Structure 1
Amino acid sequence: MNFGKVITAMVTPFDENGNIDLQALRELINHLIANGSDAIVVAGTTGEAPTLSHEEKAALFKNTVDFAANRVPVIAGTGTNSTYAAVELTQLAEQAGVDAVMLSTPYYNKPNQEGMYLHFKTVADATSLPVILYNVPGRTGVHLDASTTIALAENVDNIVSIKDASGDLDHMTAVISGTPEDFTLYSGDDSLTLPSAAVGAAGIISVAAHIIGNEMQSMLSSFHNGQTAYAAQQHRELVPVMDAMFSAPSPSPVKAALEMVHVKAGSVRLPLTPLTQEQEQHIYQILQRKLYSSAV
C-alpha cells in the first residue's frame, strides 16, 4: 500500500509543564501538511512514545485524526514489546479513526524470527487496519529478516508495508524483490531517501521532513522524473540538514530546529535532555546555510 512519498514521523509537542500541548499539535500538523508531508506518524519513536502513557497515546491518536481532518493519512505508532499491549494500543488507535498502524519489532526481550512473525500476525489479526512493520535493529536489538517480512506480507492480508531503518540497502532490495507488488517499503533513514528510492523504495518515513519536507519531495520528484543527476545534487545539499537532526538523541535536535523556524514543539521528556547551547548553535548554523542556499 502506498501512503505517499514523504511521511513525517511527528514529534509530540509538550508545554512548559511537560504535558501534551494540543494547540501546538494542531499548528504542527498544519505546518507539516503545508510543507510536504503526504502522511503523518503519531506516537512513534520521534513522538517519544516510550514516555507516553496509554491514555496520552489515545488522546494523541484522536486529536491528530481530528486536526488532520482527512487532509493526509494518520498512522499510529502502536508497537511495543508486549504483544498484548500492542493489540490493546492498536485497537485504541482503530477506535480513534486512524488510517493505519505501525508496529516496531519487539525491543529488549529479543524474540527470534518465529516470535516476531507470531507477534506481528497476532496484532494484525486483531485489527482491520493496514499494518506497517517497522524494522529498527539499532533501537530494538533485533533484526527482522527479509524472509520473515516476506512471509508476513504473503500470509497476512493487512500487513501492507514496512519501514526499514536497518541502513542496509542489500536487505531492502531483498525485501522489495521478495514481497508482493502492492507491498511497499519505506526507508527509515533520512540520508538513504534517494539511495533507497533507487532500489525501489516507495519513499521515506522521515524526521528531517519536519524542516525540509518540500525539498525532499522535490528531490524524489526529480529522481522519478528521470532527472537523476539533479536529484543527486539535491541529496548532497540536504544531507547536512538530515545529519544535523541526529546530531544528538532524537527528537531533541528536530524539536530545537522547529523552534528555530517558529513552530512550537517544546522540550523533550526524560531520559532525553534538551540540546546544549553549543549543539543548538550547530543546528542553527546548518539551517542558516540551508536557508541561504535556497534563496540564491
Structure 2
Amino acid sequence: MDFGRLITAMTTPFDAEGAIDWETAGRLIDYLIEDQQSDSLVISGTTGESPTLTDTEKEKLFRFAVERAGGRAKIIAGTGSNDTAHTIHLTQIAEACGVDGILLVAPYYNKPSQEGLYQHFKAIAEATKLAIMLYNVPSRTGICMTTDTTLRLAAIPNIVATKDCAPLDQLTEIAAAAPDHFRVYSGDDSVALPALAVGAYGIVSVASHIIGGNMKKMINAYLEGDVRTAAVIHAQSMPIFKGLFNYPSPAPVKYALALKGLSVGGVRLPLVALSEAEGEYLRQLV
C-alpha cells in the first residue's frame, strides 16, 4: 500500500452546536485533495479531535471520507486507542467502511512495556487485512516505542509504515534498518525535510491544510536532487510549521483555515478556540 509522500491529518469540521458539519467536511476533503495536493488523508486522528469523537461519529466519518474522496486520495482511519479490544472493534468497523488503511497510536496513559506494545499492535494486525501505520508520539502518549520494537513490528506483513515523532536519530535508525515494504513518515512538519534526508518517505502533516502545495514542491525538489530549492521552501514554511502549534492543536489550524475562507468551526472541550489576540500571529502569516 502506497499512501504517498504528503498525508494530511485532517481536522473535523463542527457546526455552531458542536456537531459534525458534513457539508463543510466534504468541501474540506475536496480542498485538501485538489488544492493542497494531499496523497492521503488521516480521518479521526489527533488533529481530527479523535478523543472527543464517538464511535458512531468515527464510523460515519470513515464512510463519508471514502465516498467523498472517490479514489482521489487514500483514506487512513485513526482507530488506535489504549484498549486493544476496542481498537480491534473500531478497526473492523473501519475496514467495513472501505478505508485503505489505519493509523494506530501507541497506547497512552497505561504505559505498557515494549513487549506490551508489540503484542498490542500484533493482535490488531492479526485481526484485520488493512494496511497499518504505527504512530509513535511520546509527547502525547507518555511512552516511546523504541527502534527495536518498531523494527520488530515492521516484520509483520500488513504493518507497512510508521508516523514517528521521536527524535531524528530514531527516524534515522528505523529508516536505515527497515524492510523494503516499510516506510517511515515524519509526524512533525518542522523536521519534514531533515527527515527525508535521513531516509523518511514522507510527512503526515498539519501544515498541509494551509501550504500543502508548497510542501509538495519541497518534497519533489528534494527527490529530484534540488536540495537548495527544497531548503528554501522549508525555511520559508517554518513560521507556519511553528505557528500552527503555538497553542493546542487543532485550534490554530482551524483558525488559519477560517482566515483562508474555509471555516471549519470550533473545537470541542477540553480544547478551546484561539482568541483574537492569540490568532494575531497567524493572521500575519496566512
Whether the 8 Å contact between 1:6 and 1:217 is mirrored in structure 2 is: yes
The superposition leaves residues 107-147 of structure 1 with CA deviations (integer Å, 9 ceiling, x where unpaired) of: 00000100000000001110000000000000000000000
Distance 1:246 1:36 in 2: 22
Report the counterpart of residue 188 of structure 1 in structure 2: 187
Distance 1:23 1:233 in 2: 37
Report the counterpart of residue 161 of structure 2 in structure 1: 161
Distance 2:228 2:56 in 1: 48
Report the counterpart of residue 280 of structure 2 in structure 1: 281
- Runs (4 or more) in structure 1 with deviation over 4 Å come to none
Q: Given the two structures, how large is their TM-score scaled by the length of structure 1?
A: 0.95
Report the counterpart of residue 129 of structure 1 in structure 2: 130
Distance 1:174 1:230 in 2: 26
- Which stretch of structure 1 is more off in the superposition, 174-183 or 77-86? 174-183
Counterpart check, 1:22 vs 2:22 = yes
- Matches for 1:105-144 after TM superposition, within 5 Å: 105-144=106-145
User: Letter of the aligned partner of 1:157 in structure 2?
Assistant: P
Q: Given the two structures, how large is their TM-score scaled by the length of structure 2?
A: 0.98
Structure 1 residue 173 displacement after superposition: 0.9
Distance 1:178 1:79 in 2: 25
Structure 1 residue 264 displacement after superposition: 2.4
Whether the 8 Å contact between 1:2 and 1:184 is mirrored in structure 2 is: no
Q: Note the residue ranges of structure 2 that are not aligned, 5 or more in a row.
A: none
- Matches for 1:48-67 after TM superposition, within 5 Å: 48-67=49-68
The superposition leaves residues 35-56 of structure 1 with CA deviations (integer Å, 9 ceiling, x where unpaired) of: 1101100000000000011111
Distance 1:202 1:178 in 2: 14
Distance 2:15 2:144 in 1: 35
Report the counterpart of residue 70 of structure 1 in structure 2: 71
Distance 1:122 1:165 in 2: 23
Distance 2:235 2:184 in 1: 23
Q: Note the residue ranges of structure 1 that are not aligned, 5 or more in a row.
A: 288-296
Structure 1 residue 2 displacement after superposition: 3.0
User: Letter of the aligned partner of 1:67 in structure 2?
Assistant: R
User: Letter of the aligned partner of 1:234 in structure 2?
Assistant: I
CA RMSD after TM alignment: 0.7
Identity %: 48
Report the counterpart of residue 270 of structure 2 in structure 1: 271
Structure 1 residue 187 displacement after superposition: 0.2
Distance 1:117 1:135 in 2: 13
Report the counterpart of residue 11 of structure 2 in structure 1: 11
